[in-house]
Structure 1
Amino acid sequence: MSANGGTKAVIAALLANLGIAVTKFIAFALTNSSSMLAEAIHSVADSGNQGLLLLGGRRAKRAATPQHPFGYGRERYIYAFIVSIVLFSVGGLFALYEAYHKWAEPHPIENWQWVPVAVLVIAIVMEAFSFRTAVRESNHTRGKQSWVHFVRRAKAPELPVVLLEDLGALVGLVFALFGVGMTLITHDGRWDAVGTAAIGVLLVTIAIILAIETKSLLLGEGAEAHEVAAIEKAMTEGPEVERIIHMKTLYLGPDELMVAAKIAVPPCDYAEEVARGINAVEARVRTAVPHARVIYLEPDIYSAAADQAGTGSAAHTAVPESETEPGQIAGRPGS
């Protein structure tokens, strides 16, 4: 996923939410509607979330240091996780509290009755524009994946976060419009509380989904199946590698994949031949999967007997170093 695409969607969402928040607060001040207040706080939380995503993207670009030799790419995951907490606490829990308060002390909307409806309709249009931008940017990298699979498996957190936030905002606006509309029709303020409670449940649910998916990224996820297949093909399509004994992958950040593998190389007399072969393999892997930027390959001599024992490596049956001649690889008899 391109960082530019994610940034564009985040900025579009930020501008939309700032404008919407102002209009919702004005509507709340005029009508004292709890649904409008819940939606206003929701927009403020979303604006703060977009700011956090932009900050995380900027800090993740810092160069690696001796203390952090793999760089700061995962900082984008950390800020996305903070977003889920903010959405849960500031957005969801506040809306549930406001719904409880309004249910206990209901009152109808008596002044400026047309204002909340107009504001909500305008907000739906603005959120729809932001959501359309997020969908369009996501389609550049989503491919043939379903939307559920894209949200669950995307390595860059910005677009899934914006997608879920914008979807939640649109549905939440519909809930608010329902609550306000029923309050105006029935003159019963408890409908306003119902709309507010629905918004709260929706935001808490989205926050939990975001937290679960971001936690998985923080713990460390490996490459996708198609990426693993491309890496394996690149490693074994040349004469330098007989087979892959075992391999592990790990995303160090959304745009940086680490590949570590033990590979079986043909027996040879000199380490220089092995080094040239490894360099060739690394070049093919980076061509096949460009974001596989950190590659560690350990050469070994494959042994079928050792494979049956569960190691696949001839290291356990190699000739002791003291019995090899200078300049020769252990495990290969002198010629």
Structure 2
Amino acid sequence: MSASGGTKAIIAALSANLAIAVAKFVAAFFTGSSSMLAEGIHSVADSGNQLLLLLGGKRAKRASDKTHPFGYGRERYFYAFVVAVVLFTIGAVFSLYEGWHKISQPTEVESPIWAFAVLIFAIIAEGFSFRTAVKESNPLRGRQSWVAFIRRSKSPELPVILLEDLGALLGLIFALFGVTMAVVTGDGVWDGIGTLMIGVLLAIIAIVLAVETKSLLLGEGASPEVEEQIRAAMESAPEVARIIHMRTLHLGPEELLVAAKIAVEHDDTASDVARGIDEAERRIRDAVPIARVIYLEPDLDRLRTTNA
């Protein structure tokens, strides 16, 4: 992921959510709508989440030290996981509680014009934010489906913003549905139903984000396509007879560790082996620039020796 692209999407989402949160709280005050209140809390949670993503990106840039010799790249995964937890605890749980409370003790929606005006404004603002996230994601997504992109992306920011913005748009539609039905029928229960729908939606998005970021936190290897590029580059080095085995690990979205045992000819000198390793590392970095940490262990090509 382009760091600037991810930051641009985060700032666009943050700007939209701060403006929308204020508008929603004003509408909730005048209308007494639980859907609007839940949406206001949702926007506040989203704004906090975007600040967490910006903080994670900044902290991930710290230089490596003795305590963290491979750097702090995974800070971005940690803060993305915190975003999922915040989205669930603050957004989903509050909305579910407020929806249940509204259904148990329904009240009439007052001054609905406030709610409709704010929801229309919010849909336009969230649409702009979502469009920015889609635009920044497309170069990275390539020909992948959106589901595959969210599941396979090693950079957490854009998938998080995409799901947040999508959830925000759907949440606004649910809020609009609840308020509209409450006004048309005169029954405040519909407002509570819209709030429950928002809570369920946020819970689903939070769980998806938690599962995906947990996998990144535990440590994911390079994609099959990237691993194939690394293998091809390594095997193209003259002194590398073959790859015995290889492991990769993302130390961060833009930093990959490559460890491999390579077979060399039994009559190669130490100088030949050293030169071959240096050349293999150079070719790997040319092919995959994010392969910044490379460990290659030479071994005799026992398979070829045995066959001979």
Which bracket does the TM-score occupy, shorter chain normalised? over 0.9
3-state secondary structure, aligned to 1:9: helix
Shift of 1:304: 2.1
| Pair 1:280-2:257 in alignment | no
Tell me the equivalent position of 1:91.
91
Tell me the equivalent position of 2:207.
208
In 2: Cα distance, 1:268 partner to 1:213 partner: 47
Tell me the equivalent position of 2:167.
168
Shift of 1:131: 0.1
Q: How does 1:191-230 map to 2 (within 5 A)?
A: 191-230=190-229
In 1: Cα distance, 2:159 partner to 2:232 partner: 30
Tell me the equivalent position of 2:8.
8
Greater Rg, structure 1 or structure 2?
1
Letter in 2 for 1:153: R
Shift of 1:109: 1.2
| TM-score normalized by the length of structure 2 | 0.98
Tell me the equivalent position of 1:271.
270
Bigger RCO of structures 1 and 2 (CA < 8 A, at least 6 apart): 2
What per-residue deviation string (whole Å, max 9, x for no partner) do you get for residues 280-329 of structure 1?
00000000000000000000112128999xxxxxxxxxxxxxxxxxxxxx
In 2: Cα distance, 1:109 partner to 1:78 partner: 41
Tell me the equivalent position of 1:252.
251
- Unaligned runs of 5+ residues in structure 1 are 309-335
Shift of 1:238: 2.5
Tell me the equivalent position of 1:41.
41
Shift of 1:269: 5.0
In 2: Cα distance, 1:208 partner to 1:162 partner: 15
Tell me the equivalent position of 2:180.
181
Letter in 2 for 1:134: A
Percent of aligned pairs with the same amino acid: 65
Tell me the equivalent position of 2:150.
151
Letter in 2 for 1:223: A
3-state secondary structure, aligned to 1:293: strand
In 1: Cα distance, 2:141 partner to 2:306 partner: 39
- Unaligned runs of 5+ residues in structure 2 are none
In 1: Cα distance, 2:22 partner to 2:217 partner: 34
Moved over 3 A (4+): 305-308
Letter in 2 for 1:205: I
Shift of 1:266: 1.8
Q: How does 1:116-155 map to 2 (within 5 A)?
A: 116-155=115-154
Q: 1:306–1:99: structure 2 CA closer, same or farther, 3 Å change rule?
A: farther
- Residues 74-83 or 267-276, more deviating: 267-276
In 1: Cα distance, 2:41 partner to 2:138 partner: 30
| TM-score normalized by the length of structure 1 | 0.90
What per-residue deviation string (whole Å, max 9, x for no partner) do you get for residues 144-166 of structure 1?
11100000010010000000000
Tell me the equivalent position of 1:20.
20
In 2: Cα distance, 1:270 partner to 1:157 partner: 45
Letter in 1 for 2:87: L
In 1: Cα distance, 2:209 partner to 2:299 partner: 42
Letter in 2 for 1:169: A
3-state secondary structure, aligned to 2:258: strand
Letter in 2 for 1:226: E
**Aligned residue pairs, count:** 307
Letter in 1 for 2:294: I
In 2: Cα distance, 1:124 partner to 1:8 partner: 20
3-state secondary structure, aligned to 2:82: helix
Query: CA RMSD for the aligned pairs?
Result: 1.2
- Residues 232-241 or 179-188, more deviating: 232-241
Say if 2:237 and 2:283, in contact at 8 Å, map to a contact too. Answer: no
Shift of 1:270: 2.8
What per-residue deviation string (whole Å, max 9, x for no partner) do you get for residues 153-197 of structure 1?
100100000000000000000000000000110110000000000
What per-residue deviation string (whole Å, max 9, x for no partner) do you get for residues 56-114 of structure 1?
0000000000110000000000000000000000000000000011011101113x221
3-state secondary structure, aligned to 1:239: coil
